[in-house]
Structure 1
Amino acid sequence: MPRRLLATAMVLLGVGLTGCSGDPAERAPGDPVTAEEAEVLAGLLARDAEEGGADVVVTAPFGEEGLLTLTGEVDLAASAGRARAVTSYGDGRPDDVRTLFFTREQIWFGDVPGLPEALGAAGLPEAAFVRRPLATGPDGVPLTDLLVQVVLNLGTEEADGAGAFLGGGATWEGQRSIDSRLATVFTSETGWSVAVDDTSDLLLQYERELPDQGTEVTVTLADHGPRTIALPEEGQTLDAQAHPEVAAAVGV
């Protein structure tokens, strides 16, 4: 596996590629990718970044019935995003809904229950967001932080080498429809799966089991194109590192 894709996989990613060559009827799921497909695979994440970004939906089950869903948009060129995070517990408790902004270094939480009261008790001015460093591991990384890293790693500046996807490094798994767009599906022996738009050679869906989580994350991208993410202003934000007592009180 090439250097860039290997690094991505180790951070919870991988990559895929697209564009099926030849007649699908002559192939069987599990067949090695062709040289042409390997070239498409090698440039997939770089093409995602060149497009700018996309709308994004991320889902990851947890526990017996829980589900965390992030819905928003990502600027893959600038490594920034925003999302509505909904945690559904599946046990009768109401959903937990937060607003997220994120980069590779920081994550902002908005709509945090109890934040106004915690700020008042600490004698601090009002703030709409709490910001803390993005947790990168290796241990005890919150599921939200893991999903954010998965999303941001779906875009890179440089293409990988095509050779590493040949000889069984990646396999062709057929075609399916993703949001009414025909896509070719590829998988890797390292555990990732991708569905790539047959028309544009852009990533439509990425799936991978999260290490040590026992759950599979699914990222669906749509409407690729330039995005601008306006991060929360400093005056709207409480620094969790500077005020750990407030961050602890509201669970951030």
Structure 2
Amino acid sequence: MSSPDHAVRVPTLHRMRSRGSLVVLGLVGALVTGCTAGAAPTRTPGDAVTQAEAEILARLLERNHEEGGADFVVTAPYREGVVLTLTGEVDFRDDVGRAQAVTTFGDGREDDVRTLFFTPDTVWTGDVPGLREALAATDEPDAEYMSRPMTTADDVNGPLLTDVLLGIVLGLSAPSADEAESFLGADYTWQGQRSIDSRLASLFGIRGERTVAVAAADDLLLQFVTPLQDDAFDATVTLSDHGPRSVEVPTDEETAEAGDHLEIAAALGV
């Protein structure tokens, strides 16, 4: 997907987690913000997060880890008339996922569609027109996917947008809870309620002009919205059907490393 693979600047958030080369680790800390249980019967958007909400949201990412995984949809309208959408599933316990990546264009061009598998360190790309044919002419004729390292903020050109979005998805879980008191300051506010995919959710504003939506029924994370590229656009992650997942990445026999086939990778935008 050559069109969205430009570098973006990832905002610094509330707390940094250690995930090796994953570039958007900081996004996870800002999610533990405000919740639904114990809310006052009548509230005004902009009201502070309550103690009960802070306590529940301190476990929000831990709950995702406990649930095991979820389906997800990520949307990023990163350029006028151009939208990158990732639709797939993630295994939060093993830090692995897969997605169909679709870039749509407002000028009539055909959608760019491909399949991605991802971990904090590696991205596999497949179902790219011409990829299998190009690899068939190499010393890896059985390969269907190309793998490359997950780009990070430490790379010369910064992280790729696709990798930022995949990293956000992987970052939506944590093996332990945060301190509830961290979310009782002025940076965390209740912003009302609305329906997300037919599920009632409470919305909360968090520092950096971000929002998080939490299901009223079970206090699970439904949606996270964050600005990217110096507030040029918002990336929206929506989760559903929380529960265990099992995702198998392509085998070595199915995979060719992009670094070994630079001309093919460049030509096909892998």
Q: Map 1:131-170 onto structure 2 (within 5 A).
A: 131-138=147-154, 139-170=157-188
Of 99, 119, 123 in structure 2, the residue corresponding to residue 83 of structure 1 is 99
Aligned to 2:35: 18
- Give a deviation string over 1:162-214, Cα, whole Å, max 9, x none: 11111213111111111111111111123321110112111011101014361
Give the equivalent residue in structure 1 for 2:7.
none
What stretches of structure 1 of length at least 5 have no aligned partner?
none
Say which of 127, 132, 137 aligns to 1:111: 127
Asked if the contact 2:147/2:255 (under 8 Å) is kept, the reply is yes
**Aligned residues of 1:49 and 1:77 also touching (Cα < 8 A):** yes
Partner of 1:234: 252
8 Å contact from structure 1 (residues 79, 103) kept in 2: yes
Preserved contact between residue 34 and residue 188 of structure 2 (Cα < 8 Å): no
CA drift at 1:69: 0.5
Counterpart in the other structure of 2:15: 6
**Identical counterparts, % of pairs:** 51
Check 1:51–1:154 CA distance in 2 against 1; reply closer, same or farther (3 A cut): same
Aligned to 2:221: 203
Q: Is the 8 A contact 1:11 1:149 kept in 2?
A: no
Report SS of the residue matched to 1:31.
coil
Q: 2:58 aligns with which of 12, 24, 42?
A: 42
- TM-aligned CA distance change 1:213 to 1:128, over 3 Å: farther
Q: Which runs of 4+ in 1 moved over 6 A?
A: none
Contact 2:76–2:83, Cα closer than 8 Å, also in 1: yes
What TM-score, normalized by structure 2, do the two folds share? 0.86
Residue 269 (structure 2) aligns with: 251
Alignment partners' CA distance in 1, 2:179 and 2:26: 19
Match of 1:193 among 189, 207, 211: 211
- The equivalent of 2:88 in structure 1 is 72
Paired AA for residue 144 in structure 1:
T
Sort the Cα spacing of 1:10 and 1:50 in 2 relative to 1 into closer, same or farther, 3 A. Answer: closer
Aligned partners of 1:111 and 1:123: how far apart in 2?
A: 19
Change (3 A) 1:223 1:50: same
What TM-score do you get using the length of structure 1 for normalisation?
Answer: 0.92
SS in 2 for 1:50: helix
How many angstroms apart in 2 are the aligned matches of 1:157 and 1:5? 17
- Report the aligned-residue RMSD: 1.9
**Cα offsets for 1:41-78 (capped at 9, x unmatched):** 11100111110011111100021110001111111111
Distance 1:97 1:237 in 2: 19
Aligned residues: 248
